[in-house]
């Protein structure tokens, strides 16, 4: 175990010992390689640099109550990376390569997995980029798949505490028929200006309105939005929203604890009616929302009335993290024990 202040980890980059890489060349994928370098040698005309051929994933491995290391729903991340690759004309990574690379990089860096009870986890970042040199606008003929890992704490410094968010209508994260539904870097680049402004103005993150009408809730910055009222778990339905694996899991858990799940358009004005709301994703798991401030109209939607997470959000958070840390029976078979 490394000498790290595990209980005070932020969500940031900490150097680990190894990453793993696999190249697609001459029409086929090669073998998984191990590297201790943090750098990627690359042709200056690589398509990832010029034409945005880049996709990535975010995953976590957890050291459980029983000492075992669990990887959460890796198959879903693999499928989503495949959808991202197909959307921007990259070569998809075969599932067996994705799996073996994940297992290998976790085992190689097992000393960086935070101990059980610290609240930390090992964040896993698979990355697929076009490395083939092109000057004309066309897909690359060579690709690099790489996975690096880093130990992390909470995504928001508040941890599992309600945060304030800003609703932005003057920026779009993704176009209605664009790439919002896949996990590619361009979506995040498009969200940066609104996100930085929100931070400067005292908010944890931006919530985007839909790009077409500006009347509905879309993404919650780097996460999916959900609201709870009248025994219902409600989350937006939109082609411009990235299908969160955490949100997918929470919908299953919501049904299991007795909530009705609705996946539909959420008018911005409906925010005033929610008893609870949150942003959910791999990084934050659930970040309860205290206040949403509509920057354009000045309207303030007060969600949390006492500055504490709502009872349903707390129950769902405990259920999901309990499965991830081996505290609760994994009856959905979401976790894979990684030998290391």
Q: Rounded CA gap, 203 and 180, in Å?
A: 23
pLDDT at residue 122 in the model: 97
Calculated CA dihedral for residues 56, 58, 332, 109, nearest 10 degrees: 110
> Number of folded domains in the chain?
2
In 3D space, the residue among 80, 236, 235, 240 whose CA is nearest the CA of residue 173 turns out to be 240
In a shared domain, residues 170 and 142: no
258: left (phi over 0), alpha (psi -120 to 50) or beta: left
In a shared domain, residues 177 and 137: no
In a shared domain, residues 196 and 318: yes
pLDDT at residue 156 in the model: 72
Q: Rounded CA gap, 211 and 143, in Å?
A: 32
Q: What is the DSSP letter of 169?
A: S
Distance of CA 26 to the CA centre of its chain: 32
In a shared domain, residues 116 and 190: no
Active site residue 183: yes
CATH code where residue 135 lies: 3.30.470.10
pLDDT at residue 205 in the model: 94
* Catalytic residue, candidates 183, 200, 214, 255: 183
Q: Rounded CA gap, 158 and 48, in Å?
A: 34
The phi, psi pair for 53, rounded to 5°, reads -80, 85
In a shared domain, residues 304 and 184: yes
**pTM here?**
0.96
pLDDT at residue 187 in the model: 96
Mean pLDDT by 10 residues, the chain (340 residues): 88 96 98 98 98 98 97 98 98 98 98 95 98 97 98 81 96 95 96 97 96 95 94 96 97 98 98 97 93 97 94 97 96 96
In a shared domain, residues 167 and 315: yes
Q: What is the DSSP letter of 49?
A: H
In a shared domain, residues 120 and 187: no
pLDDT at residue 222 in the model: 84
In a shared domain, residues 42 and 147: yes
In a shared domain, residues 182 and 269: yes
In a shared domain, residues 147 and 176: no
Residue 231 has a CB neighbour count (10 Å cut-off) of 11
pLDDT at residue 117 in the model: 93
In a domain, 158, yes or no: no
In a domain, 57, yes or no: yes
Domain boundary among 152, 186, 215: 152
Task: Give residue 110's domain range.
Answer: 6-152
231: left (phi over 0), alpha (psi -120 to 50) or beta: left
pLDDT at residue 159 in the model: 72
In a domain, 132, yes or no: yes
Residue 308 has, within 13 A of its CA and on its CB side, a CA count of: 6
In a shared domain, residues 219 and 86: no
Domain boundary among 125, 152, 179: 152
pLDDT at residue 87 in the model: 98
Tokens of 64: 């459980």
């Amino acid at each position: 175990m490394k000498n790290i202040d595990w209980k005070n980890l932020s969500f940031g980059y900490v150097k680990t010992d190894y990453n793993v890489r696999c190249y697609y060349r001459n029409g086929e994928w090669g073998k998984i390689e191990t590297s201790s370098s943090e750098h990627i040698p690359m042709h200056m005309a690589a398509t990832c640099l010029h034409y945005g051929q880049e996709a990535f994933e975010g995953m976590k491995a957890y050291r459980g109550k029983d000492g075992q290391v669990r990887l959460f729903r890796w198959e879903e991340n693999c499928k989503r990376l495949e959808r991202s690759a197909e959307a921007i004309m990259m070569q998809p990574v075969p599932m067996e390569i994705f799996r073996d690379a994940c297992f290998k990089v976790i085992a190689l860096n097992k000393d960086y997995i935070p101990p059980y009870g610290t609240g930390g986890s090992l964040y896993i970042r698979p990355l697929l980029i076009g490395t083939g040199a092109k000057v004309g606008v066309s897909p690359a003929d060579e690709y690099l798949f790489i996975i690096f890992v880093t130990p992390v704490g909470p995504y928001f410094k508040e941890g599992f505490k309600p945060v304030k968010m800003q609703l932005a209508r003057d920026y779009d994260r993704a176009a209605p028929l664009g790439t919002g539904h896949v996990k590619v870097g361009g979506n995040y680049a498009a969200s940066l200006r609104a996100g930085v402004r929100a931070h400067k103005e005292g908010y944890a993150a931006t919530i985007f309105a839909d790009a077409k009408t500006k009347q509905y809730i879309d993404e919650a910055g780097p996460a999916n939005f959900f609201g709870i009222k009248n025994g219902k778990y409600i989350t937006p339905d939109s082609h411009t929203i990235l299908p969160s694996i955490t949100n997918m899991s929470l919908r299953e858990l919501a049904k299991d604890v007795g909530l009705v799940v609705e996946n539909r358009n959420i008018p911005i004005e409906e925010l005033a009616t929610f008893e609870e709301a949150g942003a959910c994703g791999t990084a934050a798991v659930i970040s309860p929302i205290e206040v949403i401030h509509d920057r354009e109209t000045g309207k303030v939607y007060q969600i949390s009335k006492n500055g504490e997470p709502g009872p349903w959000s707390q129950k769902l958070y405990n259920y999901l993290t309990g499965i991830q840390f081996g505290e609760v029976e994994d009856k959905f078979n979401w976790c894979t024990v990684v030998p290391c």
